[in-house]
Structures are given as structure tokens and as C-alpha cells.
Amino acid sequence: MKLNGLVFLILLLLISLFQSVSLWAAPEGFTVTVTDGYELFLAPAKPSAGQALVVVLRIIDESQLQKEVELQSMTFCQRKFQLEPIDGGWRGVAAVPLGTVAGTYELSINSQVGIELVLAVAVDSHDYGEQRLTVKKEMATPMRPENLKRIKQNRRDLEIAYGASAAQFLSGSEFVAPLTTESTSPFGTRRLLNGKPKSPHGGVDFKAAIGVSVGASARGRVVLAEELYYSGKIVIIDHGLSVFTLYMHLSEFECSLGDEVDAGQIIGKSGRSGRVTGPHLHWGVKIAGVFVDPLRFVDDSKHLLMIPWEVGDGKGKF
């Protein structure tokens, strides 16, 4: 009995020592939680509405290793996100939808047999403000049958484009904004077009005259290069793990469907096609159906390139 108590105490000491070492080892921007035989790294610790959440996991419990668990996906804010096996664990990126109210939300990690673990994640709300715009009536609320038919077809094309994302994260670098000009309209604003409430602004607008070269934010594959009713000439790039970037209102395409593009490679020229009030570039980042603030993703994407438990010894980058 006495010996058991001592063993228990030593075990407790070892566990707490291990946990504190893990906490100490978490690189900047990550928080780490040890739960159910896993080490779960999150960045940022408290995401807000319209922001990405990078999740990296590793098994630290021998008995879990023996089970040969294959993690496959995660569920967060009622949406499903991909997980990719990496050296020693898994990584993925989730996102908090616009309009999410502050609170605690469950992050479920799913394996091939069901839910493997659940973690409570604190989420902040974020008010992006309101914007009133005036556009042509047929652009705000299309009525003509040929336009309605076209919009319906566009939706199907978009569904196909977003339907198949690579199972591996394709980018080897942090995401960069396609232009460095002044932003003329921020992400996330609630929009009133001709006085009627519409979807919030799903991206950020950059000042651009017609014909300015637009580069890809990161390496990926072109899954759409087409002229749509609202977006005008649009390019969508898949970066894997359901991370997509969108470039809208272009005047010219410089890529085609299926092209593999590198970070910074010119994919088109800015313009004023589709629903616009003037020439500009609309740039969006969509993660498994959720629009996130592209400018914040420029910063947050660096966490997708790190193996948190190897940062510091020179092996922390993919």
C-alpha cells in the first residue's frame, strides 16, 4: 500500500514534469494541451470569427501508438476539416466562420473508427463593421432569366472547384498577399448593396488599375479559371487541406484549369469584371467552405509550416 502510494507519487511527478516540459517546448504562437495520450498544439490559442486555427497533433502515449490510430479529420464549429499525416503526427487547419459568437467550442479529432478526442477551444467574436455600396440593379438583385440561369451554373462550377482539395498541404512557404497596394475594402464587413443586406465581404480588396500582374499567394493547383456573373474573371487555387485562395474581377487569365503554380507566379491581370464599383483586385482565402481574413492568414499560415515539437533544433520546418 505504502509502495503503491510512492509509485503513484513518482508517476504523478513524472507526468507533471513531462507536461511542463511540453509547455516549455511549445514554439511561439502555439499552445499545447496534453490529453488522452496526445499532445495537441493550437495556433492561435484563442481564434476569432473569420480566423484560421492551425492544429498539430502527436501521439505521446505508447499504448496509443500500439493501437495504430489513423487520424483523418476534425470537426469544429459544425464543419469538417482535413488532417494530414506528418512525421510523428498530424496537421490540419480549421476556421471560425464569420458571425460566430464568443464562447467555448468543441474541437473533435476523428479517426477511422470515430471520435478520438475532444478539446474545448475558446473563440472570440469579431465585428468587422458595415459597408454600404451602390451597384447596378441587375448586379445587386438579378432578375433576368439568363442571368439567374448563369448564376445557377456558376454555383455548380464553384462546388466542383471546391469539391476536391489535395490531401497534402501543397505550400512550402507562408502565404503572401498578391498585391502590396492599399486595401480599399477590408474583409468581413456586413454589406448592404443598394440598401439590401447581402453576404459579408469574403475577402480583401486591393487598389489596382486594369492590367496589373497578380501573383499566386502560395504554391498550389488552379481549380477554376472562368468568368462568373458576380466574381467576373476568377482564379481559384487549391493549396491542399481544403485551403483555397481566390482572385476576382480580373481582366485577363495567365493560367488555366489544372495548372500547378508556384508562390508569386503570375496568374492573371487585375480588372473590373463582374460585380464591381471600379477596377480592383478582390483576394479571398477559403478553408473548407469558411472565408477567413486573408491578411490575418498571411501571418497565421506560418504555423502550418512548423512541426512544433521539432522547432528549435533546426528540424522544425517542413
User: Using CB under 5 A as the criterion, which residues of the chain lie in contact with Zn ion when the complex forms?
Assistant: 205, 282
Q: Which three cell numbers stand for residue 229?
A: 456573373
Q: Nearer to Zn ion by C-beta: 26 or 246?
A: 246
Contact in structure between 157 and 236 (CB atoms under 8 Å): no
Which of 306, 285, 298, 303 lies closest to 95 in space, CA to CA?
Answer: 285
Contact in structure between 232 and 271 (CB atoms under 8 Å): yes
Q: Nearer to Zn ion by C-beta: 43 or 281?
A: 281
Closest approach, Cβ 31 to Zn ion, in A, equals 33
DSSP strand pairing (190-193 vs 130-133): parallel
Q: Nearer to Zn ion by C-beta: 205 or 238?
A: 205
Distance CA 259, CA 280 (A): 24
Q: Hey, CA dihedral for 177, 180, 181, 183, is it positive or negative? A: positive
- At 169, the amino acid letter reads F
DSSP strand pairing (252-253 vs 196-198): unpaired
Closest approach, Cβ 201 to Zn ion, in A, equals 6
Closest approach, Cβ 251 to Zn ion, in A, equals 16
Closest approach, Cβ 118 to Zn ion, in A, equals 36
Q: Is 218 exposed, middle or buried (0-12, 13-18, 19+ CB in 10 A)?
A: buried
Which of 309, 317, 255 lies closest to 34 in space, CA to CA?
Answer: 309
Q: Nearer to Zn ion by C-beta: 243 or 246?
A: 246
Q: Which three cell numbers stand for residue 286?
A: 477559403
Q: Nearer to Zn ion by C-beta: 58 or 282?
A: 282
Q: Nearer to Zn ion by C-beta: 215 or 232?
A: 232
- Residues whose CB is less than 8 angstroms from the CB of residue 190 and which lie 6 or more positions away in sequence, other chains included: 128, 129, 130, 131, 197, 200
Closest approach, Cβ 10 to Zn ion, in A, equals 60
Taking residue 70's Cβ as centre, other Cβ atoms within 10 Å add up to 12
Closest approach, Cβ 282 to Zn ion, in A, equals 3
Q: Nearer to Zn ion by C-beta: 30 or 187?
A: 187
Closest approach, Cβ 187 to Zn ion, in A, equals 9
Q: Which three cell numbers stand for residue 216?
A: 499566386
